[in-house]
Amino acid sequence: MSLVGKKAPAFNAQAVINGGEIVADFSLEQYIGKKHVIFFFYPKDFTFVCPTELHAFQEKLAEFEKRNVAVVACSTDTEQSHWGWLQVPKAQGGIQGVKYPIVADTTKTISMNFDALFGEYEVDENNQLVANGPMIAFRALYLIDKNGVVRHQLINDLPLGRNVEEALRVVDALQFNEENGEVCPANWHKGDTAMKATHDGVANYLAKH
């Protein structure tokens, strides 16, 4: 299911912010009208690819903030698990130093509503509810605009780490379009020539490239 063009699902959940403070009622609603949001899911705390991604987003956090973009992570682990992992140094496989919010989707409903949950619940022959799959989040990422609408969606399978530079590039493309009205062609980067969304605009762009 694609969420692009739709309102991002609302939620209230516990989260760890500022590298160690647990809050009880975190929501993306706080950013409506104020910031764009990169909201990304990762499978599990205390794993292998996940810390490389969380640190990569932290390393580029100033670049996102420069663009007035909030970065928020989420997994199906508990807030206590998030907190514990945040106490472990990077050299030991931890995520100490990560400062953006990490949401605890312990009920798995956030992942499910974003269509990022690996697995689903089914009823077996004994009329019992069972899980079909590991019931953790895929590596899903959503760019949400200031109106709370999803404008970009990417979902990777568990072994495939994401490219944080690409997330920044898509932010730049969206903000350029919002500010200038022009559209961004293939492989566009900030500072490149864009084009008008007309037949002449496309023809003129292709003629020069």
| pLDDT, tens digit, 9 for 90 and up, residues 138-157 | 999 999 999 999 999 999 99
Q: What is the pTM of this model?
A: 0.94
Q: Across residues 46-57, what is the average pLDDT?
A: 97
Q: Across residues 96-102, what is the average pLDDT?
A: 98
Q: Write the DSSP assignment of the chain as a string of letters.
A: ---TTSBPPP--EEEEETTTEEEEEE-GGGGTTT-EEEEEE-S-TT-SHHHHHHHHHHHTHHHHHHTTEEEEEEESS-HHHHHHHHTS-GGGT--TT--S-EEE-TTSHHHHHTT-EEEEEEE-TTS-EEEEEEEEE-EEEEEE-TTSBEEEEEEE-TT----HHHHHHHHHHHHHHHHH--B--TT--TTS--B-SSHHHHHHHHHH-
| 96 pLDDT tier (thresholds 50, 70, 90) | very high
pLDDT at 190 over 90: yes
| 208 pLDDT tier (thresholds 50, 70, 90) | confident
Q: What confidence tens digit (pLDDT) does each residue in 82-93 have?
A: 999 999 999 999
pLDDT at 203 over 70: no
Q: Across residues 35-40, what is the average pLDDT?
A: 98
Mean pLDDT of the chain: 95
| 201 pLDDT tier (thresholds 50, 70, 90) | low
pLDDT of residue 204: 76
pLDDT at 79 over 70: yes
What CATH fold (topology level) applies to the domain 13-161?
A: Glutaredoxin (3.40.30)
Q: Taking the domains of the chain in order of start, what are their residue ranges? A: 13-161, 163-209
Q: Across residues 167-175, what is the average pLDDT?
A: 98
Q: Across residues 169-180, what is the average pLDDT?
A: 97
Q: Across residues 45-74, what is the average pLDDT?
A: 98
Active site residues: 50
